[in-house]
Structure 1
Amino acid sequence: MNDHVMRPVRADEWEKVKQLRIAALKDPAAPVAFLETLAQAGARSDEFWQDRALGASQGRHARQFVAEAPDGQWVGSVTVLVEEGGTTDYFERPVAQSQGHLVGVYVQAEQRGIGLTEALFKAALDWAWSLEGPALERVRLFVHEDNGRAGAFYRRFGFRATGQVLPVPSDPDAKELELVLPRP
Structure 2
Amino acid sequence: MTYLIRPVRAGEWREARALRLDALRDPAAPLAFLDTYEAAAARPEAYWRERTESTAEGSGTGRQVVAVAPDGRWVGSVTALLEPRGREVLFGAVPEVDQVHLVGVYLRPGARGGGVAEKLLGAAVDWAWSLRDPVVRRARLYVHERNGRAVALYRKAAFLPSGRTLPVEGEPGVVEREYEVWRPDGCAGGEGQPGR
Structure 2 equivalent of residue 60 of structure 1: 60
Gaps of 5+ in 1: none
Q: Using the TM superposition, give the Cα deviation of residue 81 of structure 1 relative to its aligned residue in structure 2, in angstroms.
A: 0.5
Change (3 A) 1:54 1:83: same
TM-score after normalising by structure 1: 0.95
In structure 2, distance between residues paired with 1:121 and 1:68? 14
Deviation larger for 22-31 or 166-175: 166-175
Aligned residues: 183
In structure 2, distance between residues paired with 1:169 and 1:143? 14
Structure 2 equivalent of residue 5 of structure 1: 4
Does residue 123 of structure 2 align to residue 123 of structure 1?
Answer: yes
CA contact (8 A) 1:35 1:170 kept: no
CA contact (8 A) 1:83 1:99 kept: yes
Identity of aligned residues (%): 48
Superposed CA deviations along residues 75-123 of structure 1, whole A, max 9, x for unmatched, are 0000000100010111363122110111100000111001110111121
Superposed CA deviations along residues 104-153 of structure 1, whole A, max 9, x for unmatched, are 00000111001110111121111110001221111001000000111011
In structure 1, distance between residues paired with 2:180 and 2:31? 19
Computed over aligned residues only, the root mean square deviation of the Cα atoms, in angstroms, reads 1.3
Structure 2 equivalent of residue 145 of structure 1: 145
Structure 2 equivalent of residue 46 of structure 1: 45
Structure 2 equivalent of residue 72 of structure 1: 72
In structure 2, distance between residues paired with 1:176 and 1:161? 11
TM-score after normalising by structure 2: 0.89
1:163 counterpart SS class: strand
- The one-letter code sitting in structure 1 at the alignment partner of 2:15 is K
Structure 2 equivalent of residue 96 of structure 1: 96
2:53 counterpart SS class: helix
CA contact (8 A) 1:4 1:68 kept: yes
Gaps of 5+ in 2: 185-196
2:79 counterpart SS class: strand
Change (3 A) 1:170 1:128: farther
Structure 1 equivalent of residue 165 of structure 2: 165
1:136 counterpart SS class: coil
In structure 1, distance between residues paired with 2:24 and 2:168? 17
2:114 counterpart SS class: coil
Q: Using the TM superposition, give the Cα deviation of residue 173 of structure 1 relative to its aligned residue in structure 2, in angstroms.
A: 4.0
1:91 counterpart SS class: coil
Matches within 5 A, 1:13-28: 13-28=12-27
In structure 2, distance between residues paired with 1:131 and 1:13? 23
